[in-house]
Chains A and B, each alone.
Chain A
Amino acid sequence: MLEITNLHATVGGPDNPTPILKGLTLHVPAGEIHAIMGPNGAGKSTLANVLGGKPGYDVTAGSVTFNGQDLLSLEPHERAAAGLFLGFQYPVEIPGVSNVQFLREALNAQRKARGEEPLSGGEFLKLAKDKAALLQMDMDMLKRQVNVGFSGGEKKRAEMVQMGILGPRFAVLDETDSGLDIDALRIVGAGINSIMRAPDKAVLLITHYQRLLDVVKPDKVSVLADGRIVETGGPELALRLEAEGYDAVMA
C-alpha cells in the first residue's frame, strides 16, 4: 500500500540543507499496523512530515508510492483526498474556526476530489457524533474552535476523532501517544484499532513507548536510526527496545 524506497530528505532549504533521511526503505502492505521507533533526532517526525507534504522538507532522492500513485508529486490536500491521514505530534490551534465547520469542509473537499457527493449538515453531524462517542469526546468540544483551549491529551483525542470522521485508508500517526494519561492512551489506542484495523487499511505508528503498542498491537516494528530503517521485526522487537534500550539493540 505504501512503498518508501531509498528516501533521502533534507530540511533547512536549498541554501543550508541538513540531511535527515538518508536512504529510508519501508514497505507497509494493506492490513498492517507498522510501528516505527527510534531515538530522538533519528528522523521519525521528518518521515511523517515528508509523507504529509509539509513545506520546508525537500526530498533529494528516492520515491514513495501510495496505492501505485507517486505520493511525492501530490499536494498535501491531494494526498488527503487519496486517503492519507497525518496525525500531528503538535496539532495546530485555529482560532475562529469550529471543528464542525473545519471537518465538514475538509471531508466534503475530499469527497469532491474523489467524485463523491457531499454530506449534508445532518449526515455530517451524525457521523461526527458517532466518532466523538467512539473516542469518548464530548460533542460540545467539536463545536468549539479547532484545538483552541484543548489540553495536550484532548488535542490528541481530537486528532483521532478527525481520523474517524475523515475515514482514511492509511494513517501516519506521529507520536499520538505523547501527552496522554493512561486512560486517554487506552481510549486512543482502542480508537486506532476500531478506525484503522481493517484488511484494506494500514497504519504507520510513530512512537517512543511500548505502552501504546500494548493496546494497538502492531504487526511489525521497525527501528529508525540516523535516517534509515536499521532493523525490522515483530512486536517482540518493541519489547526488547523497551527492556534494553536502543544502544543495546542496535549494537
Chain B
Amino acid sequence: MTLATLPTRRDEAWRYADMDGLARLGVAALDQWQAIDVGAGESVTRCLIVGSDAPELHRFRVTLGEGARAAFFVTNAGQDYTRVEMEVHLAKGAHFEFGGVTIGGGDSTREFVTQVVHAEPEATSNQTVRAVHWNTGTGNFLGEIKVARHAQKTDAAQDFKALLLEAGASANAVPQLEIFADDVKCAHGATVGELDEAARFYMMARGLDPATAQRLLVQAFIGDAFVALDDADEHARLLDAALSALEGARL
C-alpha cells in the first residue's frame, strides 16, 4: 500500500512536524515500517542513535504477546528533521518501556511519536522523554495511550521534560489518553524549563568551567530517560551520543 499524499499538519500526529523535511523525504518513506513481534514471555531491547544532516523517519510497529517485554531507548540528535514513531500493541500482562532523548540546536525539529495500545488487561507501559534544545531547535513528544474497554488493571505512564538553553528554542508535548476501561492507572506529566542557574553557579564556584557544568547538568537531566537501561555499555553509548551533540551549544 502506498499513501497517495503526504500528511498535513491538520493530522494530529503531524501537528508539530517539519513538513518541508518530510517533503524532502518523500512519500515512499512513509511506507517504511519496521515490524517487531515479541512472542509470549519473550523480551526485546533496542538501543538506537538516530539523526544526521539529512531528514530521517524511523517507524516501528511493535506487537507484544502475553507477558512479553519490549524496551526501546533512543537518542535523537538529528541536525535535520528526525522523527521516530512507535506503534505498540500490548497483549495481556505485557510491558513496553520507552526512553527517548531529543537534543540539538540549529533550526531542526526532532520528535518522538508513540501510540501505545493496551488491548488486553494487566499490561504496563512507561515512557520517559527528555528534550534539550538551543538556537531555534525544537523537540516534540506526541504520546497517545489507548486503553481498550476490557483492558482492566492497565498501568500506563508517560513523562516529558524539556530543558531550553536559550529563548527561541521550543518544545511541544502532546499527551493523548483514550481510556475505555474503568480500573486503570494512567499518569502523564510535561514540564518545560531552563537550566538551573543556582546549580550552575554552585558548580562553577567549585571550579567547573561553564561548559563542564552545563554538560553535567544536562547529563543529569537526560539520565532519567535511560534509567531503565541496564546494559552499561549501551547506556554509555546513548548518553555519549547525546552529550557530544551538546558541544557547541550556547552556554
- Flag B208-238 by CB within 8 Å of A: 1 or 0 each: 1110110011011101100000000000000
Q: CB-CB < 8 A to A76: which residues of B?
A: 201, 204-205
Q: CB-CB < 8 A to B217: which residues of A?
A: 94, 97
> In this assembly, does A86 line the interface, its C-beta being within 8 Å of a C-beta of chain B?
yes
**How far in angstroms is the closest Cβ of chain B from A69?**
16
Closest to B224 in A: A96
**How far in angstroms is the closest Cβ of chain B from A87?**
9
Interface size class of B (residues with CB under 8 A): 20 to 34
> In this assembly, does A92 line the interface, its C-beta being within 8 Å of a C-beta of chain B?
yes
Q: Are A109 and B208 in contact (CB under 8 A)?
A: yes
Closest to A87 in B: B205
Q: Are A97 and B220 in contact (CB under 8 A)?
A: yes
> In this assembly, does A209 line the interface, its C-beta being within 8 Å of a C-beta of chain B?
no
Q: Are B207 and A166 in contact (CB under 8 A)?
A: yes
Q: CB-CB < 8 A to A53: which residues of B?
A: 204-205
A54-B201 Cα distance, complex, nearest whole Å: 7
> Contacts A95-B220, A96-B220, A96-B221: A77 and B202 contacting too (C-beta < 8 A)?
no
Within 8 A of A (CB), among B188-205: 196-199, 201-205
> In this assembly, does B206 line the interface, its C-beta being within 8 Å of a C-beta of chain A?
yes
Q: CB-CB < 8 A to B205: which residues of A?
A: 52-54, 76-77, 79-80, 86, 88
Q: Are B203 and A102 in contact (CB under 8 A)?
A: yes
Within 8 A of B (CB), among A85-107: 86, 88, 91-97, 101-103, 105-107
Q: Are A113 and B199 in contact (CB under 8 A)?
A: no
A48-B38 Cα distance, complex, nearest whole Å: 60
**Pairs of residues from A and B, 8 with the lowest C-beta to C-beta distance, nearest first:** A96-B220, A80-B207, A110-B207, A76-B204, A106-B206, A92-B202, A77-B204, A106-B207
Interface size class of A (residues with CB under 8 A): 20 to 34
> In this assembly, does A231 line the interface, its C-beta being within 8 Å of a C-beta of chain B?
no
> In this assembly, does A46 line the interface, its C-beta being within 8 Å of a C-beta of chain B?
no
* Sampled A-B contacts (9; CB under 8 Å): A76-B201, A92-B201, A92-B202, A94-B216, A94-B220, A96-B220, A96-B221, A96-B224, A107-B207
> In this assembly, does A162 line the interface, its C-beta being within 8 Å of a C-beta of chain B?
yes
Closest to B213 in A: A77
Closest to A90 in B: B198
Q: Are B223 and A96 in contact (CB under 8 A)?
A: yes
> In this assembly, does A55 line the interface, its C-beta being within 8 Å of a C-beta of chain B?
yes
Q: CB-CB < 8 A to A95: which residues of B?
A: 220
A-B residue pair count with CB separations less than 8 angstroms: 76
Q: CB-CB < 8 A to A52: which residues of B?
A: 201, 205
Question: Which of B208, B210, B224 is A105 in contact with, Cβ under 8 Å?
Answer: B208
> Contacts A94-B217, A96-B220: A106 and B208 contacting too (C-beta < 8 A)?
yes
Q: CB-CB < 8 A to B213: which residues of A?
A: 77
Closest to B206 in A: A106
Q: CB-CB < 8 A to A79: which residues of B?
A: 205
A residues whose Cβ falls under 8 Å from a Cβ of B: 52-55, 75-77, 79-81, 86, 88, 91-97, 101-103, 105-107, 109-110, 113, 162, 166
A46-B223 Cα distance, complex, nearest whole Å: 35
Other than the given A54-B201, A77-B209, A102-B203, 4 more pairs (CB < 8 A) read A77-B208, A80-B205, A96-B220, A97-B220
Q: Are A96 and B219 in contact (CB under 8 A)?
A: yes
A75-B207 Cα distance, complex, nearest whole Å: 10
Q: Are A81 and B202 in contact (CB under 8 A)?
A: no
Closest to A97 in B: B220
Quick one: which of A76, A97, A102, A107 has the most chain B CB within 10 A? A76
A36-B197 Cα distance, complex, nearest whole Å: 27
Closest to A81 in B: B207
> Contacts A95-B220, A96-B223, A97-B220: A55 and B207 contacting too (C-beta < 8 A)?
no
Q: CB-CB < 8 A to B221: which residues of A?
A: 96
**How far in angstroms is the closest Cβ of chain B from A251?**
37
Q: CB-CB < 8 A to B204: which residues of A?
A: 53, 75-77, 80
A110-B203 Cα distance, complex, nearest whole Å: 12
A237-B23 Cα distance, complex, nearest whole Å: 78
Quick one: which of A94, A113, A162 has the most chain B CB within 10 A? A94
Q: Are A102 and B206 in contact (CB under 8 A)?
A: yes
Q: Are B202 and A91 in contact (CB under 8 A)?
A: yes
